[in-house]
Every structure is written in C-alpha cells, then in structure tokens.
Amino acid sequence: MQFEQLPALASEVARVEMVREYAEMALKLDSLVGDIEDAVSSSVTGKLKSRVDNSEETHHVAIGYLKSIEDLLASVAVTRPQWTRLLSSVDHRVDRSLAILRPQAIVDHRSLLSSLGWPPSLAGSKFSSINSGKQAEIVNPLFVMRGDLKSKYSESFLALCNLQGLQKRRKARQLKGHCVGNQLRQPLWVIEELVNPISTAAQRHFSKWAEKPEFVFALAYKIIRDFVDSMDEILQPLVDKANLIGYSCREEWISGMVIALSTYLAKEIFPKQIEVLQESSSSSDSGSTAYQARVSWLSLVDLMISFDKRIQDLILSAGLLLTVKDDDSWQRISVLCVFCDRPDWLQVWAEIERQESLNKLRSAMDLEKNWSTGIRGTMLEYSDDYKAPVITSVVHHTLSLLIDRARPIPSITLRAEFISMSAAPIISEFLGYMLRRCQEAEGLTALADDNAVLKVSQSINAARYFESTLAEWCEDVFFLEMENLTVNGESGCIFQQEINHLKEFRVEWTDKISTVILRGFDARSRDYLKNKRQWLEKSDGPAVSRTFIESLDYMQEQLSKLQGGLNTVDFVTVWRGVASGVDQLLFAGIFTSGTKVSSDGVERLQGDLSVLFAIFSAWCLRPEGFFPRLSEGLRLLKIDEQQLREGAFKDKNWLREHGIRHLAAADTERIIKNRVYDA
C-alpha cells in the first residue's frame, strides 16, 4: 500500500463509521417512537372500549419514552448537527403523538378534579373576613382528598408537569441560537386546570355586580387568598418532584386568577365605563353626568391599584420574589395589564386624571395668597433655597400624586406615556399661568413698580424650584428606566422638554429685570455722563460726583429689594447682568466718547468707581473683576506720562504687563490720547 493512499482510506473508514452511527441512531429512535405510538394507541383503544384503564401508568410510560427520545435528540443536535432530516422527521412523529397524549392527559386530569369536587361551590359559602387572618370556612378539596384519590391526583399532576417540562426542553432545543427571551415560559398547565373552572364559576357572581365592582375585586381576592396555602403545601412539592425549574405554584395560582379577572374587566366592565363616558359627553346635562362618569372611572382604577398592591403583598408574604423581573411577569400579577392591551383606555384614564388635577389646581393658582412665600408667619421648608411661593407646594403635590398613579402600571412604556399625557401638561399649564402673570405685571407698569417686580420674582422662584425638582426626579431609577424610550418623538429624561421651557422662562425674565434696573440707572446717570467738563475741573472737596451717587442709590435700592424676593442663584445672575451693563454704559459714556480727563478728573473718577465697587462688594469679594472695562480704563488713566513711550501702548506685551486684557487696541489708544497731563 502506498503511503499517499492512507488519508483517503482514513476518510473512507470515517465515512463508514458515521453511516453505521447514523443507522444505529435511526433504528434506536424508530424503536422508541414506535413504543410511544403504541402506548398512545393502546390508551385511546382502551378508552374506546370503556375499560377501567390505568391511564396514569400509560401516560408515565409514554413520557418515559419521550424523555429518552429527547435525550438522544439533544445529543445528536450537539454532536451531529448536520443530521437535520433525522431530527425533523423524529420531531414530526413525536408531535403527532403529543397532539394525542396531552389532550388525553388533560381530560383525565379534569375528570379527577371533578371527582375531587373542584371547583368548590361559591354560592352560600361562609368565607372568612377579607381583612381578618382567620382560616376560610370554605372546604378546600385539595386539603380533604385522601387515599387512592390523592394518589391518582398526584400521578396525574406529575404526568402533566413532566409533559410540560418535556415540551419546554424540546422548544429550547429547536429554538437554540434564536433570541427567544421569555417566550419559552408558559403558565403552569396543572394550575391553569385549577384556575379555569373556578374563574368561570366566579364570573357568574361577577355578572350580578356590574354596578358594584368593589364586590368583584373582593370576591376575586378572597378566592386567591383562601386557596393559596394549598398551592404551597400540597402542589409545590409535586412541582419540585417533577423538576420544573423556575415555577412557583403560589405565583402561578395568583397570576392565573389575576389574568382571569383582567379578562373579565376588559370584556364586561371597561366597555360599559367607556359607553357611560361617551353618553355623558353628548347628553344635555353633560356637566354633572360627565363628573359622575369620571368619578366612576377613577373609583374603578383605585380598586385596581388597591387590588394589585394586596396581590403583591400576598406573593411577597411567603418570602418569594418574582421569578422574572420584567414587564411580562409584572403584567401577569396586575389587573392594570388591561391598559397594556388597550392603550386608548390608558389615554382616557390619563385625560381624566389631568382634567381633575387641573380643575383643583386652577382654583389654587387664582388665590393671590398662594403666591407668597409664607404661610401665617411660617416659611416653606425649601424657601431658604428657592424662596418659592406656596403654590409650588400645591403643584408639587399634584405632580407627585399623578406620578404615584403611574407607578403600578406594569409597563415602562405605558408609564412614560401616562406621565407624558397627565403630569407634563400640568407643568405646561402652570408655566403658562406664570407667563400670563408676568406679562400682566409688565404691561401695567413696565416692571417699574415694586409689586410688579415682586410678581415676576415669585414666578422666577417657582420656575427655578421646579426646574431643580424635575432634574432631581430624572435621576431617580423610576425615571431612568424611561430614558431609552421615545415619547412624543423625543428620548432622554421624560421631563426634559418641560425643564428646557422652565429655564427659557427664567432666563428671559431675569434678563428683563436686569434691563429694567439698567434702564433706570441709565436715565438717572445721563446728566452725569453729559457733563464732560467735570473731568477737567479742579475740585477742593471730596472727589465724588453727587449726581452719580444718586444713580448708585437707585441701583443699590433696587438690587437690595430684589435680593429679598428673588432666589439666590437667579439674584446672582441679575446683579452680574446689571454689573456688566453698567460696565458697558459707563465705559462708553466716559472712556470712548472723546472725553478729556485730567489728573483731578482721574481722581474724581476713581472716587466714583470706588463707590460703585463698594456697592457690589456686598455680593462678591472682588467687585472690580465684574467691571473689567472700567477697571482697566482707570488703570490706563493712572499710568505716568513717562511710562508712555512712543507707541508703547500698542505693544501687547506692554499691555499685558500693565494688566490690560479686556480692551481692544483702538480703545486703549483712544483712552491714552484723551488723557490730559498737567504741565
């Protein structure tokens, strides 16, 4: 044999070995599938002949074969993934057997439940008090079953659990490599068989209480609570024995009943509520009728929120946490999931909440006393920082209530939409009211009156408070979950648009206050700036201009009043804006207007500016820094004539050495040329 023939020979041997393995696996699988088909067929035949069959044993035998087949298929899927036709053909035959086996197992299980007396009668039963912790007087069939009946029920229960576990394994294998999320998780079949008949029986009672939904929720909660202990004590050990991982009978029982109640609400209760709302809006007596319809809707939602809270407490009381913490699992234990399927109903709810809140808020906004910062001599707890008026506490409380209403909604997207439709318009309404209030004050007195400035200051303080509050809320986990969503075409913080509008409002009106003060200062300092001769006159008295002092008195008085009414942050913005405006005004009127200045004039100007700086020293340590043009212009005027060499002031290094950094070269040259030195 040639050495070159060895690779080809090895390849042929490997191919033959693979064919042998394929044949052995196909024969083994064919034998097991045949056994399943025989077991299923014999079970059906036995029932047709009306024999006293041992169906539970037949089911366990068939399930044993199914597990063996699934073990082999899982091994093939890993080691020989190319055998796709073998896998699909076996799956096809197994599916046909399961299509017969599962319904048969369910029918047998339902028959056992019926012989146990499930569902128990709800009519005339003496339930324990809803608020008491006493044991229910109703007879629980799961607690009273004994002997052979209990053994048969346990075997049937295990058979269904094993079938579901097997089905879950098969789906996981078939969908391996695909992003399925929680799609493989199904409700527990055995618990569904308990929930469906008792929920059907309960709905016969629900139909009698269409006008009294509180009775519906009371009965639903009572059924859930009175049977939940049997789920833990009797059924959970069986689920654990079947190795169904990730299932809690308590949670499955509760979620099954909650889903049944939600379905009833969606089919019977909410359509009638919508109909009443529509009729009330079109009736002649629409005022009182519409109000009653809205109250009825809100009462129903209150009952749902209260029910959900009690249900969650019931789950957590056993020390259990939700097996999957996401919207899907939350919706399974919340009757508010009704709104997940009907977002138009969520919109109706949000609109009602918004309208009711606005009706209460408007009356509070119209009371002038609510715009003060004190309540009978006391201050609001946040007034020291924001000096916010009383009305802000009313609006804050209103927003907090609306946000609390949104918290139980079992969907991040719907929570964001609810807040966007209910709470956000409240902020916009309040901002619009503040804008009208400020415009009214501006229109009457052009903000020249102290009361008008106080009104504007109150609105600015309120805007600053809510801007800070909304930004703080957006850092909370509850709102951070919504940042990746797109609400109203925008992503990010859900209140970002409102925060921006509040900031724009605040900046606009603080600028207007600064402008008003500067306008008054300008009017009072015109004579001072027009008097060009004063800078060349000799003065024997104090080197301070009396007319300038009057202008400064006005500015100081206005800023002092504003300091008492405006919040600290925005007051800093105002006085800095005033300082910048005064700096530009005096610099243009003295230094760049061609005014000649002598040595006595420099001394007078220094005295005037020292008084100006002294006023602003109450709010900063180095006021000269907020008047860069005036400070540097005065510094140029004080330079000795000997230091001004020919064109030296045009050199950037020379200017930097003398502390000139904010003046343009043309301004520097003009100031130096207007300096008049004594002979």
Q: Please say if the pLDDT value at position 383 is more than 50.
A: no
Structure tokens at 385: 């920082």
Which phi and psi (to 5°) does residue 675 adopt?
Answer: -80, 125
Q: Please say if the pLDDT value at position 127 is more than 50.
A: no
The pLDDT of residue 557: 94
Mean pLDDT confidence for 261-280: 92
pLDDT band of 179, cuts 50, 70, 90:
low
Helix-, strand-, coil-residue percentages of the chain, each rounded to 5: 75, 0, 25
pLDDT band of 126, cuts 50, 70, 90:
very low
The pLDDT of residue 166: 92
Structure tokens at 84: 């796709």
Q: What is the mean pLDDT of the chain?
A: 86
The pLDDT of residue 668: 83
Nearest to 153 by CA among 111, 186, 195, 119: 111
Mean pLDDT confidence for 600-628: 92
More confident residue, 265 or 644: 265
The pLDDT of residue 487: 61
**pLDDT tens digit sequence for 416-472:** 999 999 999 999 999 999 999 999 998 888 888 889 999 999 999 999 999 999 999
Q: What would the DSSP string read from start to end of 272-288?
A: HHHHHHHHHHHSTTHHH
Of the CA atoms within 13 Å of residue 3, those in its CB half-sphere come to: 0
Dihedral over Cα of 313, 316, 318, 323: its sign:
positive
**What percentage of the chain has pLDDT greater than the value 90?**
52
The span from the CA of 538 to the CA of 517, in Å, is 32
The span from the CA of 306 to the CA of 372, in Å, is 37
Q: Please say if the pLDDT value at position 674 is more than 90.
A: no
Q: Please say if the pLDDT value at position 273 is more than 90.
A: yes
Mean pLDDT confidence for 379-398: 78
- Among 13-22, 139-148, 561-570, 652-661, which range has the highest average pLDDT? 561-570
Q: Please say if the pLDDT value at position 381 is more than 90.
A: no
CB under 8 Å, gap of 24 or more: what pairs does 125-134 form?
127/222, 127/226, 128/222, 128/226, 130/218, 130/221, 130/222, 130/225
Q: Please say if the pLDDT value at position 672 is more than 90.
A: no
**pLDDT tens digit sequence for 191-214:** 999 999 999 999 989 988 888 999
Which phi and psi (to 5°) does residue 600 adopt?
Answer: -65, -35
pLDDT band of 638, cuts 50, 70, 90:
confident
